């Protein structure tokens, strides 16, 4: 992390001085997981994301980008200017071959064994250590090759249907750069980027009245999306052409969870399991019943879990969150904002239902724990977990440790915002 951004944390008072001040009574509005461009995002820029968060009363905002973190310097600066405490994270896609072979779904409802893993509170990403660079570059290389192949295959499908798009992975990256002003070297393509580029070409070159016929030739069936609905067409390109068994699909070559944990810890973060719960029906086998899900998190040394509540009903969300928290697992929440839908930044449950008060309190506590972890790591002190994923020593119970870090984190946020 750039020294100018690190200085914000390094210059805060010592832990003892922070904790000597009466605790802040104000409830904090938090969102611990969004994606910022050049990741595929609802936001056109960092400035837009931070300004919307400020205008909507968010006090703590966390980014969890894939595979490049240069955007975190302008994010830290914009957050500082807006009085918002920034949390830095990472998201990694992994494959567990044992779960795959058993047909067990984790937090991807369509692909057995495919598991998303997040890292919370990373602070060692600029410069990367040699080990972090090695681990990250392996992921980047695998992912970039797959996206290049999928783009080539998708271009061939549309060429056969009568539209020579001229798109390649480099051309798609150029569109991301033009859209967001991101440095080219920070752009790592996702499926949504590729689908968006093809949708844009179609809208640019094919008259609205002729799009259905073109898409029918490409898809092999009549399109479901309206010819003027950009977001719907992007989603349909992915589902009709880019998913398993479709013409542009290229098999994934994901790293395993050990690789993901090693990278997260090398970046100074806390490994975190993103949980779907009733965000899919039926609930994925790895995540049910609730007691077994908690036990599986412990077996895999996850000390943190996260939810995207807009997928969940308040009651089921509360059940999962309370079970994890009772088991000594820190819990956070966010919105992702990884589609073009510009939803409210404050997390809410499915159909906009409010998060239950106890659940919201646990989410706030989790964000404070991550804030304390960042603060201590920036000072060169042990965080919530160390580089071996061992929880901070000196506490008799997980409850004591979480309570200490939550109180310290709230004091850190208060001092930062003062």
Following DSSP, what letter does each residue of 19-78 receive, concatenated? HTSPPP-SPPPEEEEE--TTSS-S-SSHHHHHHHHHHTT-SEEEEEESS--TTHHHHHHH
**Residue 1 pLDDT > 90, yes or no?**
no
Q: How confident is the model at residue 395 (pLDDT cuts 50, 70, 90)?
A: very high
Helix (H) or strand (E) holding 248: none
Average pLDDT, the chain: 96
Domains (range + CATH), the chain = 3-128+267-417 (3.20.20.140), 136-242 (no CATH)
Calpha distance 376→394 (Å, rounded) = 15
Calpha distance 254→149 (Å, rounded) = 15
Q: What share of the chain is helix, strand, coil (3-state, %, to 5)?
A: 50, 10, 40
CA distances from 340 to 39, 55, 336 (A): 11, 19, 11
**Residue 22 pLDDT > 90, yes or no?**
no
Per-residue pLDDT tens over the stretch 261-291: 999 999 999 999 999 999 999 999 999 999 9
Q: How many residues does the chain have?
A: 418
Contact criterion met (CB below 8 Å) for 367 and 30: yes
* For residues 233-244, average pLDDT: 96
**Residue 335 pLDDT > 70, yes or no?**
yes
Which residue would you say has higher pLDDT here, 367 or 4? 367
Per-residue pLDDT tens over the stretch 178-193: 999 999 999 999 999 9
Q: How confident is the model at residue 3 (pLDDT cuts 50, 70, 90)?
A: very low
Per-residue pLDDT tens over the stretch 110-128: 999 999 999 999 999 989 9
């Amino acid at each position: 992390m750039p020294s100018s951004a690190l200085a914000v944390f390094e210059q805060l008072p010592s832990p003892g001085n922070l904790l000597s001040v009466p605790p802040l009574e104000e409830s904090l509005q938090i969102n611990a997981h969004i994606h910022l461009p050049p990741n595929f995002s609802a936001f056109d820029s960092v400035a837009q994301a931070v300004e919307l968060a400020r205008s909507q009363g968010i006090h703590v905002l966390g980014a969890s980008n894939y595979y490049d973190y240069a955007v975190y310097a302008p994010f830290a600066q914009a957050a500082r200017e807006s009085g918002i405490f920034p949390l830095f994270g990472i998201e990694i896609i992994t494959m567990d071959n044992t779960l795959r072979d058993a047909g067990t779904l984790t937090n991807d409802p369509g692909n057995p064994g495919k598991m998303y893993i997040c890292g919370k509170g990373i602070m060692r990403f600029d410069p990367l250590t040699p080990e972090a660079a090695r681990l990250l570059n392996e992921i980047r290389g695998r992912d970039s090759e797959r996206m290049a192949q999928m783009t080539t295959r998708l271009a061939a499908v549309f060429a056969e249907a009568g539209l020579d798009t001229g798109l390649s992975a480099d051309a798609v990256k150029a569109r991301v750069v033009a859209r967001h002003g991101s440095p080219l070297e920070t752009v790592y393509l996702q499926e949504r980027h590729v689908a968006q580029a093809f949708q844009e070409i179609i809208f640019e070159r094919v008259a609205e009245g002729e799009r259905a016929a073109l898409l029918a030739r490409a898809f092999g069936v009549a399109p479901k999306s309206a010819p003027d609905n950009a977001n719907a067409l992007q989603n349909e390109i992915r589902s009709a052409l880019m998913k398993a068994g479709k013409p542009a699909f290229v098999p994934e070559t994901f790293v395993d969870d050990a690789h993901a944990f090693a990278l997260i810890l090398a970046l100074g973060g806390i490994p975190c399991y993103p949980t779907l719960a009733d965000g899919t029906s039926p609930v994925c086998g790895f995540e049910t019943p609730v007691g077994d899900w908690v036990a599986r998190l412990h077996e895999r040394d996850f000390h943190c879990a996260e939810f995207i509540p807009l997928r969940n009903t308040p009651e089921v969300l509360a059940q999962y969150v309370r079970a994890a928290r009772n088991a000594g697992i820190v819990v956070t929440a966010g919105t992702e904002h990884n589609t073009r839908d510009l939803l409210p930044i404050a997390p809410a449950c499915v159909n906009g239902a409010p998060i239950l008060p106890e659940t919201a309190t646990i989410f706030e506590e989790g964000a404070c724990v991550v804030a304390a972890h960042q603060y201590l790591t920036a000072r060169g002190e042990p965080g919530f977990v160390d580089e071996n994923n061992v929880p901070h020593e000196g506490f008799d119970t997980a409850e004591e440790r979480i309570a200490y870090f939550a109180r310290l984190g709230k004091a850190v946020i208060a001092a930062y915002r003062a």
